[in-house]
Amino acid sequence: MKNKRQNKILEIVSQTNVETQEELMGFLHAEGHRVTQATVSRDIKELRLAKIPNGKGGYKYSVPTNITKGDLIRRATRIFEDYVRSIDFSGSLIMIKTYPGGANAVAAVIDELQWPEMIGSIAGDDSILIVTRSEGEGTLSEPTGPTGEVYARIREIMEG
């Protein structure tokens, strides 16, 4: 069901100028997919759809092409500057605190970086929990192992 819906989303955005999530919901409803705005939002995130200029002064959803790691790091840096307040760790867990409403944007960009040491992230309203593959043997100042590597990368992004 999910794959079918997401394939339909890709088809819709490739053939139509879809400017909003509400518009996309309308197209999906017309195709028989009963979805909520939250589901559409998650699908957009999972499909990594981006808004690009539509040539008429507005923006439309599009499947991104040729995104480099450098592009992702620059985007992550901007998002971290806008939203991240602090970062901490314990064993194989990393906690990122954001300003209210910023956690989803930060978690999405971290997930897009696809660091192999990460199992995944869980975002709330103002905090993100990142789980790494195996527990690091950190000291009080820095974690080690996979946790240390992800932690160091996040610190780099935070510091620009």
Which domain CATH number covers 114?
Answer: 3.30.1360.40
The pLDDT assigned to 79 comes to 87
- Tens digit of each residue's pLDDT (9 = 90 or more) over 16-35: 899 999 999 999 999 999 99
- Residues 55, 123, single domain; the answer is no
Which structural domain, as residue segments, surrounds residue 122? 69-159
Domains: count for the chain: 2
pLDDT band at 121 (very low <50, low <70, confident <90, very high): very high
The pLDDT assigned to 151 comes to 86
- Tens digit of each residue's pLDDT (9 = 90 or more) over 90-113: 888 999 999 998 898 899 889 888
Separation of alpha carbons 155 and 66, rounded Å: 26
Q: Find the Cα–Cα–Cα–Cα dihedral 105, 108, 113, 117, rounded to 10°.
A: 120
- Residues 25, 79, single domain; the answer is no
DSSP H or E segment with residue 88: strand 84-90
- Residues 48, 94, single domain; the answer is no
Which residues lie below 8 Å from residue 67, measured CB to CB, with a gap of 6+?
48
- Residues 79, 115, single domain; the answer is yes
- In the listed set 37, 62, 87, which residue is the last one of a domain according to the structure? 62
The pLDDT assigned to 137 comes to 44
- Residues 47, 84, single domain; the answer is no
Residue 124 has pLDDT above 90, yes or no: yes
- In the listed set 62, 86, 107, which residue is the last one of a domain according to the structure? 62
- The DSSP string of 32-53 is T----HHHHHHHHHHHT-EEEE
- Residues 50, 82, single domain; the answer is no
Which domain CATH number covers 26?
Answer: 1.10.10.10
- Tens digit of each residue's pLDDT (9 = 90 or more) over 138-159: 444 567 778 888 888 998 898 8
- In the listed set 27, 43, 62, which residue is the last one of a domain according to the structure? 62
- Residues 50, 122, single domain; the answer is no
Structure tokens at 18: 């879809």
